[in-house]
Structure 1
Amino acid sequence: MGDIELHPPCVASEKHTGLVLDIDTLALHNPLPLAGEDTHAYSCTDGTTYWLPAGLQDWATTVIAAHHAHKAAGTPLMFPGQIEFGILHGTVYAELL
């Protein structure tokens, strides 16, 4: 399958649910960019790559680091797993479920 830019839905309040995806992998494209190059986060599910909004770049980097720390420590891995994506009060969010 192809690459899709993720467009999280707007949610009315914290009580509402955004888009929930079963995520196989969370990673960075071009994690060590040279001058003038970009890097961006993506997630994969069922063979589809979802490019994450720029507002989730720092979140994704933190989660990827935590996933690798779990792997190194021999504790249960974070992925595969579910993530909820949405926009609340004008701000994009992602939440591990």
Structure 2
Amino acid sequence: MDDIELQPPSVVSEKDTGLVLDIAAVGLHNPLGLAGEPTYAYVRCTDDTTYRLPAPLQEWATSMIAVNHVHRAAGHQSLFPGQIEFGILNGGMYAELL
């Protein structure tokens, strides 16, 4: 998978907006990889562009995948497609479902 590395912008305050993408799916590349094989989280946009998520967003992605599965198992529609905002605020990277 030749994904583009996501580069979230720095924002000055919570009132500013980071990078907003229309996301079709959040997933894990090679989730059961053997030793030495790369495993990483990614987002696939509605235009089929795929971005590899930086390490600080790996846990967020795993949680988002789990939440979406629980949501769908309860009979609700998928959370995706949907918009997600990515950014860096006060030195910490964030992703927020809008």
Same fold by TM (over 0.5)? yes
2:75 paired residue number? 74
Q: Does 1:31 align with 2:31?
A: yes
CA drift at 1:90: 1.1
CA drift at 1:94: 0.2
* Runs of 5+ consecutive residues of structure 1 not aligned to the other structure: none
2:5 paired residue number? 5
CA deviation map 1:10-66 (0-9, x unaligned): 000111110000000100001112223331110011111011111000000000011
Alignment TM-score, normalising by the size of structure 2: 0.92
Alignment TM-score, normalising by the size of structure 1: 0.93
Task: Point out the more displaced range, 31-40 or 44-53.
Answer: 31-40
Whole-angstrom CA distance in 2 between matches of 1:34 and 1:4: 23
**Letter of the structure 2 residue corresponding to residue 7 of structure 1:** Q
Output the aligned Cα RMSD: 1.1
Q: Percent identity?
A: 67
1:49 paired residue number? 50
Task: Point out the more displaced range, 20-29 or 33-42.
Answer: 33-42
Structure 1 runs of 4+ aligned residues shifted over 2 Å read 35-38
* Runs of 5+ consecutive residues of structure 2 not aligned to the other structure: none
CA drift at 1:73: 1.4
**Letter of the structure 1 residue corresponding to residue 4 of structure 2:** I
Give the SS at the match of 1:24.
strand
1:20 paired residue number? 20
1:92 paired residue number? 93
Whole-angstrom CA distance in 2 between matches of 1:3 and 1:37: 16
